[in-house]
């Protein structure tokens, strides 16, 4: 018998949860047309039944008992937007084991427990969709899995954290200090009271691990991601970057060569002409390189109530359509390739380096000889006098070099008599026009 109503259990009723309910209730005609049945939120799991929620939801739909959702045979799909890690993972796993399909926006769970949950979904012929876990309203995961299914993706670069992008945009374009812009971002709701996950790059690392896992069909864990945040970036770094034709962004990179991969998140300089350089404020973008399609970029809001809820409900539509068609569980494709990570000799990039050195005869010759001995050639050099001629600020952009050779030079610079201090070092990506 064909069901006329598809029932949904909603775990969590915060910002995204209320957005999911709003879209489902306001888009009933479109949902019914796409799915072939009405969609109804039957139960909503909340932690506080007594909290005043106005007239948004009938009280009888609220529950603080997870079994009211997981043990209800009439509920077809579970939408997890409660956040957190262990409890959310447990609830999703139980739902899948009970034959319920799951949609989640939880990047933390998917970055750490994604492989386990996908295997559970596969075992129980259930769907597990998680489009909203990366880049909010940008349909990047569906693009990788479906739109580029016939291509071989070799590289993905992304601005996937709106908080850090907002901070760097304001620092770069308005010359403001990090601490000041961070407070503004917190006041606007772009940054949490504890911004550590954002500014130290952990949020972006979880997302790039998910992108790498899907794009390369390889189980990549959060621990595989090399991570550096934005807290050490100075106004001098941004000014010199701009002078040399670059824009600073916190970029997640997943790169594959001959099935060996590198996954990282770090402050990165991209040329002003690169599409990522023009992605400002809280917006996100993911740049994808495919052997067949070439270069493509996907841009849009990375977070927010309705953009994220739209991604959640889009996944829900696919889940419910699959159930109606009797093809549930076929969307889960387990990784094809064994994980192989590049070593430092195989990771190659250009680098921006800013140092303070003694402004005396022979300094430049010593430095250039040191780079030459480590197989590093220099693309750009800028020198600025400091402290009435006692020190010089030297800014260097290298040609492409292995991470091993570059680390060797950094170590030597820190022990070189003519070098007063290594001020900063950043990766650069993209060719200058």
CATH number at residue 72: 3.40.50.720
Same domain? 293 vs 315: no
**How much is the pLDDT for 288?**
95
Identify whether 283 is part of a domain. yes
> What separation in angstroms does the CA of 218 have from each of 114, 149, 150, 245, 262?
12, 15, 16, 36, 12
315 and 243 within one domain: no
Amino acid 2: pLDDT: 63
Full DSSP string of 73-106 = TTEEEEEE----SHHHHHHHHHHHHTT-EEEE--
| Average pLDDT, integer, range 364-386 | 90
Confidence class of residue 25 from pLDDT cuts 50, 70 and 90? very high
Judge if 290 and 255 occupy the same domain: yes
> Half-sphere exposure of 381 toward its Cβ, with a 13 Å CA cutoff?
9
What does the pLDDT average to over 231-246?
Answer: 95
* Whether residue 58 has pLDDT greater than 60: yes
Q: The CATH number of the domain where 413 resides is what?
A: 3.30.70.260
Q: Does one domain contain both 238 and 161?
A: yes
**Beta-carbon count within 10 A of 311 CB:** 29
User: Residue 386: which pLDDT band, with cuts at 50, 70 and 90?
Assistant: confident
Which tokens hold the place of 407? 């680390």
* β-pairing verdict for 5-11 and 38-45: parallel
Q: Has residue 67 got a pLDDT over 90?
A: yes
- Look at residue 105 and tell me whether its pLDDT is greater than 90: yes
Interval 126-164: pLDDT, tens: 999 999 899 888 889 988 988 888 999 999 999 999 999
Residues forming the active site: 207
Range of the structural domain that residue 225 is part of: 140-301
Residues 81 and 229 in one domain: no
Instruction: Please give the pLDDT value at position 332.
Output: 67
| Residue 41 shares a structural domain with residue 147 | no
Which of 396, 389, 399 is closest to 423 using CA atoms? 396
Residue at a domain's end among 325, 358, 381? 325
pLDDT value at 347 more than 90: yes
Alpha-carbon dihedral of residues 359, 365, 370, 375, nearest 10 degrees? 130
**Helix, strand, coil percentages, rounded to 5, for the chain:** 40, 30, 30
What is the reported pLDDT for 1?
A: 52
């Amino acid at each position: 018998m064909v069901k006329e109503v598809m029932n949904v259990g909603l775990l969590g009723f915060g910002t995204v949860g209320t957005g999911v309910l709003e879209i489902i209730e306001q888009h009933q005609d479109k949902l019914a047309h796409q799915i072939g049945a009405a969609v109804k939120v039957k139960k909503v799991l909340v932690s506080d039944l007594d909290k005043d929620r106005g007239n948004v939801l009938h009280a009888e739909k609220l529950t603080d008992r997870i079994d009211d959702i997981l043990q209800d045979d009439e509920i077809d799909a579970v939408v997890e937007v409660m956040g957190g890690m262990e409890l959310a993972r447990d609830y999703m796993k139980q739902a899948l084991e009970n034959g319920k399909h799951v949609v989640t926006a939880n990047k933390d769970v998917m970055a750490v427990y994604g492989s386990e949950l996908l295997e559970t979904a596969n075992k129980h012929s259930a769907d597990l969709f998680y489009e909203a876990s990366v880049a909010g309203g940008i349909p990047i995961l569906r693009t990788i899995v479906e739109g580029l299914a016939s291509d071989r993706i070799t590289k993905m670069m992304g601005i996937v954290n709106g908080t850090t992008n907002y901070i760097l945009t304001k620092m770069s374009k308005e010359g403001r200090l990090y601490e000041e812009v961070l407070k503004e971002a917190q006041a606007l709701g772009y940054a949490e009271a504890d911004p550590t996950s954002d500014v130290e790059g952990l949020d972006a690392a979880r997302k790039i691990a998910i992108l790498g896992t899907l794009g390369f069909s390889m189980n990549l864990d959060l621990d595989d991601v090399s991570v550096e945040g934005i807290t050490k970036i100075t106004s001098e770094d941004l000014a010199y970057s701009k002078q040399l034709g670059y824009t600073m962004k916190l970029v997640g990179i997943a790169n594959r060569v001959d099935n060996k991969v590198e996954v990282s998140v770090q402050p990165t300089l991209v040329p002003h002409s690169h599409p990522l350089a023009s992605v400002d404020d809280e917006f996100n973008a993911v740049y994808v390189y495919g052997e067949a399609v070439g270069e493509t970029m996907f841009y849009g809001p990375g977070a927010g109530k309705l953009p994220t809820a739209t991604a959640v409900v889009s996944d829900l539509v696919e889940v419910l359509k699959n159930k109606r068609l009797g093809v549930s569980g076929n969307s889960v494709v387990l990784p094809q390739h064994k994980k192989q990570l590049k070593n430092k000799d195989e990771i190659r990039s250009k680098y921006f380096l800013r140092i303070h050195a003694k402004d005396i005869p022979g300094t430049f010759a010593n430095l250039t000889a040191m780079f030459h001995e480590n197989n590093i050639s220099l693309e750009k050099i800028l020198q600025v006098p400091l402290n009435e001629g006692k020190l010089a600020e030297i800014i260097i952009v290298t040609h492409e070099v292995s991470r091993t050779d570059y680390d060797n030079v950094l170590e030597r610079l820190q022990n070189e008599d003519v070098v007063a201090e290594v001020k900063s070092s950043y990766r650069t990506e993209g060719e200058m026009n």
